[in-house]
């Protein structure tokens, strides 16, 4: 957004850096301090970005003060605990995820309403709110048109939120967010877009390629690493590709470059005040996990290992998802292709000495929490 000429203020409590220490799983790529990142961005782009250290979930007065002084045109809300496995570690992590995500989202909405901010809120949601079985149907964008039989024999059309079927606590919070958005869009006429994003892969965007100090995180650990990036890192590490169960799960994917394009497209196309929440499926394509493992294995020669699935999820599922809105807005998504896969493997190889191999296995079980001792969150 800064590259496009917008004035940007970041509010961050640096939770992700603390969690990386808690898990002893630093980003594979070295992440510079926020000051160094912002100074580098200023050098390469000429643009200033302000940073405010703020816990939006627990410091409502400061959040309110910040929004009252900046009065932004738009708020991009990326401040939720985003990892499904991390949210399932144990009761403490479930409590943390619910507390952080629900309070953070509600505080932003309450502040927007209290200050009568005419800002457009763009929220990072997830495909996980739908559950993953589509039984051959194409999952629509957020809403379902239904008809209810009335007592008079007539059929009453209704538009309802697509039934939520979260499979973990992180996705439960994002399902609950939907009701908060629906309420504030109706009651306070807030303008809200919820991006139901798929699994992100890749590391670099056009901007992060400009300087090594701007590189994105590369998470490969069992909690925060998403499946394709994990496979690419495992290939670089000479580790077998860890396919859960039969690898029959079909999921939606999007390259990291497209995630930022989509946020920009959403910001350029806000709903009007009084409109329902705009829900956009932010995905490029769907793939079955074992097919991805085979693709990475063909590309790199890595072995594939089928491991017991620690999650409660369907062994096999079909998934078809509409991404009509983003395509209608002109997005031509990046599809899996060797060039970007190779770039990711090259990055993994470049930084492989930073990896903690003990963090590779996925240890969080959906039924019994984590299998190893971990420190409690302060």
Identify the residue among 203, 216, 242, 257 touching ligand USQ (CB under 6 A).
242
Instruction: State in angstroms the smallest separation of the CB of 294 from ligand USQ.
Output: 12
Only segment of 88-96, 106-114, 224-232, 319-327 that touches ligand USQ (CB under 6 A): 224-232
Q: Judged by CB under 6 A, does residue 256 bind ligand USQ?
A: no
Q: What share of the chain is helix, strand, coil (3-state, %, to 5)?
A: 40, 20, 40
Identify the residue among 37, 77, 230, 278 touching ligand USQ (CB under 6 A).
230
Instruction: State in angstroms the smallest separation of the CB of 152 from ligand USQ.
Output: 41
Binding-site residue total for ligand USQ (CB under 6 A)? 24
User: How far is the C-alpha of 10 from the C-alpha of 125, rounded, in Å?
Assistant: 19
Q: Output the DSSP codes for 126-173.
A: EGGGG-S--TTPEE-SSEEEEEEE-TTS-EEEEEEEPPP--SSHHHHH
User: How far is the C-alpha of 358 from the C-alpha of 115, rounded, in Å?
Assistant: 48
What kind and span of H or E run contains 108?
A: helix 91-114
Identify the residue among 249, 259, 300, 363 touching ligand USQ (CB under 6 A).
249
Identify the residue among 107, 126, 204, 286 touching ligand USQ (CB under 6 A).
126
Q: Judged by CB under 6 A, does residue 127 bind ligand USQ?
A: yes
Q: Judged by CB under 6 A, does residue 199 bind ligand USQ?
A: yes
- Beta carbon nearer to ligand USQ, 57 or 84: 84
Site string for ligand USQ, 293-332 (x = CB under 6 A): ----------------x-x-x-------------------
User: How far is the C-alpha of 17 from the C-alpha of 342, rounded, in Å?
Assistant: 27
Site string for ligand USQ, 63-82 (x = CB under 6 A): -------------------x
Residues 4-63 that bind ligand USQ (CB under 6 A): none
Q: Judged by CB under 6 A, does residue 131 bind ligand USQ?
A: no
Residues 346-375 that bind ligand USQ (CB under 6 A): 362
**Tokens, residue 53:** 């250290």
- Please give the distance of CA 323 from its chain centroid, rounded to a whole number: 16
User: How far is the C-alpha of 343 from the C-alpha of 356, rounded, in Å?
Assistant: 21
Identify the residue among 20, 84, 233, 348 touching ligand USQ (CB under 6 A).
84
Instruction: State in angstroms the smallest separation of the CB of 165 from ligand USQ.
Output: 11
Instruction: State in angstroms the smallest separation of the CB of 247 from ligand USQ.
Output: 6
Neighbours of 315 (CB within 10 A): 11
Only segment of 50-58, 211-219, 222-230, 370-378 that touches ligand USQ (CB under 6 A): 222-230
User: How far is the C-alpha of 243 from the C-alpha of 358, rounded, in Å?
Assistant: 17
3-state secondary structure of 16: helix
Q: Output the DSSP codes for 167-203.
A: SSHHHHHHHHHHHHHHHHHHHS--EEEEEEE-EEE-S
Q: Judged by CB under 6 A, does residue 190 bind ligand USQ?
A: no
- Please give the distance of CA 204 from its chain centroid, rounded to a whole number: 16
Only segment of 67-75, 149-157, 175-183, 244-252 that touches ligand USQ (CB under 6 A): 244-252
The backbone region for 189, taken as left when phi is positive above 0, alpha when psi lies in -120 to 50, beta otherwise, is: left
Neighbours of 346 (CB within 10 A): 13
Burial of residue 157 (number of CB atoms within 10 Å: 0-12, 13-18, 19+) = exposed
CB-CB contact of 46 with 5 (8 Å) = no
- Beta carbon nearer to ligand USQ, 289 or 345: 289
Q: Which residues lie near ligand USQ (CB under 6 A)?
A: 82-84, 126-128, 170, 198-199, 226-227, 230, 242-244, 247, 249, 251-252, 289, 309, 311, 313, 362
């Amino acid at each position: 957004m800064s590259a496009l000429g917008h004035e940007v203020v970041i509010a961050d409590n640096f939770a992700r850096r603390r969690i990386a220490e808690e898990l002893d799983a630093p980003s594979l790529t070295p992440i510079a301090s926020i000051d160094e990142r912002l100074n580098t961005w200023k050098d390469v782009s000429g643009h200033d970005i302000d940073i405010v250290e703020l816990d939006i979930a627990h410091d409502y007065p400061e959040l309110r003060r910040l929004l009252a002084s900046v009065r932004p045109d738009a708020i991009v809300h990326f401040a939720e605990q985003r990892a499904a496995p991390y949210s399932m570690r144990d009761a403490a992590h479930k409590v943390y995820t619910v507390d952080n995500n629900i309070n953070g989202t509600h505080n932003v909405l309450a502040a927007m309403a209290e200050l009568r901010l005419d800002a457009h809120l763009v929220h990072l949601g997830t495909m996980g709110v739908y559950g993953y079985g589509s039984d051959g149907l194409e999952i629509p964008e957020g809403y379902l048109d239904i008809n209810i039989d009335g007592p008079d024999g007539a059929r009453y059309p209704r538009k309802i939120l697509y039934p939520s079927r979260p499979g973990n606590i992180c996705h439960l919070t994002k399902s609950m967010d939907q009701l908060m958005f629906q309420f504030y869009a109706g009651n306070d006429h807030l303008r809200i877009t919820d991006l139901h994003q798929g699994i992100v892969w890749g590391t670099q965007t056009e901007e992060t390629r400009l300087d090594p100090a701007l590189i994105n995180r590369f998470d490969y650990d069992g909690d925060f690493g998403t499946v394709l990036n994990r496979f690419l890192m495992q290939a670089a590490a000479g580790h077998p590709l860890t396919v859960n169960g039969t690898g029959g799960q079909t999921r939606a994917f999007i390259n990291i470059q497209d995630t930022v394009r989509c946020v920009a497209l959403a910001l350029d196309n806000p709903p009007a005040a009084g409109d329902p929440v705009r829900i956009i499926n932010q995905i490029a394509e769907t793939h079955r996990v074992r097919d991805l493992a085979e693709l990475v294995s063909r590309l790199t020669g890595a072995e594939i290992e089928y491991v017991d699935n620690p999650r409660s999820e369907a062994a096999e599922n079909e998934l078809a998802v509409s991404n009509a809105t983003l395509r209608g807005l002109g997005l031509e998504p990046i599809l899996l292709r060797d060039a970007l896969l190779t770039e990711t493997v090259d990055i993994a190889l470049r930084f492989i000495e930073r990896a903690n191999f003990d963090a590779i296995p996925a240890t969080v079980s959906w039924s019994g929490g984590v299998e190893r001792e971990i420190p409690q969150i302060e």
